[in-house]
Structures are given as C-alpha cells and as structure tokens.
Amino acid sequence: MNNWIIIIDERRAGGMLDAARRLGGQVLAAVVGPRALAEDMAKLGFDRVLCFETAEGVPAEAYAAQVADAAKAAEPRLVLASDAPISRTLLGAAAVKLNAALIGTVRALAVNGERIVVSRSAAEGKVLEDVEVQGPLAVIFDGEDIEVSSAQPAPVELIPVGEPGAMLRLVETSESGAESAGMLTAARVVGVGMGLRFREDLKLIEELADAMHAEIACTLPVCDDMRWFPAHRVVGSSHNQIAPDLYIAVGISGQPQHTSGIRDAKVVVAVNNDPEAGIFKKCDYGILGDLYKVVPALVSAFKNIG
C-alpha cells in the first residue's frame, strides 16, 4: 500500500504528509521541480522522494503526462496535491491515468475498512462533510499545514524524464498588477475587517502598514459591502490566499471564508474587542481590546523597532 503526494513547492507539504500517514502504508513525495526542492522534502519524513527535475524554461505542467505514467506504474491508493494551480493540473492527469475519484477542499483523511473517509469543507468552510471512497482516490488538500521533520532524510531518486518538446514552454513572465502581486508576496500584511467604523479610519490601518513596512488586505464584506478596497485586496477562499511571515487581523471576526486565506501565514495576530470572535481560535497571538487604542500602540511599537 502506498500513497503519493505531488509536490511543486513547500506549501502544506507537512500537512499533506501528516494526513497521508493516517491511512497507513508508505508515503512518497513526487517532486516536480528543482533537485533542491526534492532534497528539502527528503528531510520531512517521507519514505521515498522521487524527483522529476524540470528543465529551465519548461513549466512543471509540461511533465504532467510523465508524472501520470509513473503514478500508473506505482498504482498508489491515494494521490494528494495542494490547491496551487500547477498542482491541480498534475493531480488531474494522474487521476485520469489511475481512474481515480477526484475530491477537492479536503481537510482530513481516515480509513474505514477498505474505504478512505474524506472530510471536506463546503459552504465556504462553514460545513464539513464526510465522504467514503472505495478504490483509488485523488485529493486536493485544503487542510492545515504542520511542521514535520525526520532525523534520517529519505533518499532522493531522480526519475529520468523525456524532453517535453515545444508543446509547452515558458515564453514570458510579467506581473498582473503590481499592487496585487505585492500583497501576495509580502512578508508582512495587515488585514482590515468590519470592526473599523468609518472609511476615514483607514488612516489608522495605513499608518500601521507603513510602520510595519507591510501590505494591506481586507475581508470580502469590506470590499463588496463597504467598497473600501478593490477585489485584488480581498483575502479568503474566493479570492487570494497569502503566506506572509506576519499577518495582523484588525477588526476581523474570523469567518471561515477569510481565515482559509491566511492558513499559510507563519504568525497571525488578531486585534478584536469581542472575546468570542472566531479569529481568536485561528491566531497565534490575540489582543483583546478596542482597535482604536490598540492600533496606535502597535504603530508606536513598530516605529521604535524600525
């Protein structure tokens, strides 16, 4: 019995490994990318690491057929991938070859006899439903990431890949809107929610972002209902998912639609005056208080540390 995890970057690799371990059997990482990424994955605790090393200027999607053929030869019971667009493409190709059921937004996995039990989110994360699957299964993982490591790195096996030819090659890379790209790659982000009373109070958020050298994000209601920000600033399941080193949520209640977009943030700090706010269950540090008092104090603190 073996389980495959398709890897194109480090995103949620630990969470996927932990989820697959719960099914028993060997867990193999199929890395589509540089050798260095495969070596990093080898340190996490996979039983085996296969490396489909990509050629310069060739997108990872160009190797979808070769990855699918390798999966077909190995006949894994389960294939997982993150929700990144490239991962979904590779997963789809493998699912077709394996004639596997394909399920998205999966939070957790378990076994019930010969069947795999999949817990997936629905209704924008407000509902979890369990689905039993018999036979091969392909899964788009949407669960939490965790830190894992192994004292004994797994060996990296280079898989010979054929030249994908001119069918798919990278021609040009350009930013589609500098503002959106900045938020997606920023090390620090400040998120604003409906706890802010008036539009002019956005100056508080701007001062905090300036002091932190951070980008500004918002929840969906702040964009759609209040019209304070354009759509490219929305963080959540329906828009952008971000992974900054630090995310400060100001006046955000913590609806699943929003928190699903910040699950990959390394540190989440929440500022809210409601002790029952859901964001406090999703943060690393919570500040219970009036944002109109807390934010100026944070601005002063960040200015002092530079």
Out of 107, 137, 167, pick the residue that ends a domain.
167
The average pLDDT across 271-279 equals 94
> Is there a domain that residue 76 lies in?
yes
pLDDT at 162 over 90: no
The CATH number linked to 265 is 3.40.50.1220
Looking at the fold, whether 110 and 187 belong to one and the same domain comes out as no
Out of 167, 198, 232, pick the residue that ends a domain.
167
> Is there a domain that residue 173 lies in?
no
Q: Band of the pLDDT at 79, cuts 50, 70, 90?
A: very high
Cα–Cα distance for residue pair 94/138, rounded to 1 Å: 8
The average pLDDT across 171-182 equals 57
**What DSSP string describes the chain?**
-EEEEEESSSTTHHHHHHHHHTT-SEEEEEEEE-HHHHHHHHTTT-SEEEEEEPPTT--GGGGHHHHHHHHHHH--SEEEE-SSHHHHHHHHHHHHHHT-EEEEEEEEEEEETTEEEEEEEETTTTEEEEEEE-S-EEEEE-S-------SSPPPEEEPP----GGGS-------S-HHHHHHHH-SEEEEE-TT---GGGHHHHHHHHHHHT-EEEE-HHHHHTT--S-GGGBBSTTSB----SEEEEES----HHHHTTSTT-SEEEEEES-TT-GGGGS-SEEEES-HHHHHHHHHHHHHHH-
In this structure, which amino acid lies at residue 274? D
Give the tens place of pLDDT for each residue, 135-154. 899 999 988 788 887 778 88
Q: Quote the pLDDT of residue 170.
A: 64
Which of 91-95, 124-128, 161-165 is the most confident on average? 91-95
Give the tens place of pLDDT for each residue, 216-227. 999 999 998 899
pTM above 0.95, yes or no: no
Cα–Cα distance for residue pair 276/38, rounded to 1 Å: 42
Q: Quote the pLDDT of residue 169.
A: 65
> Is there a domain that residue 60 lies in?
yes
Looking at the fold, whether 73 and 132 belong to one and the same domain comes out as yes
| Residue 157, phi then psi, degrees to nearest 5 | -105, 115
Looking at the fold, whether 295 and 190 belong to one and the same domain comes out as yes
Q: Band of the pLDDT at 17, cuts 50, 70, 90?
A: very high
Give the tens place of pLDDT for each residue, 238-247. 788 888 999 9
Residue 127 CA, distance from chain mean position: 19
> Is there a domain that residue 265 lies in?
yes
pLDDT at 59 over 90: no
Looking at the fold, whether 163 and 14 belong to one and the same domain comes out as yes
Looking at the fold, whether 121 and 17 belong to one and the same domain comes out as yes
Q: What number of other Cβ atoms are within 10 A of residue 208's Cβ?
A: 23
Q: Band of the pLDDT at 171, cuts 50, 70, 90?
A: low
pLDDT at 122 over 80: no
Looking at the fold, whether 191 and 163 belong to one and the same domain comes out as no
* Average pLDDT of the chain, as a whole number: 88
Out of 147, 167, 187, pick the residue that ends a domain.
167
By residue range, what is the domain housing residue 220? 178-305
Domain count, the chain: 2
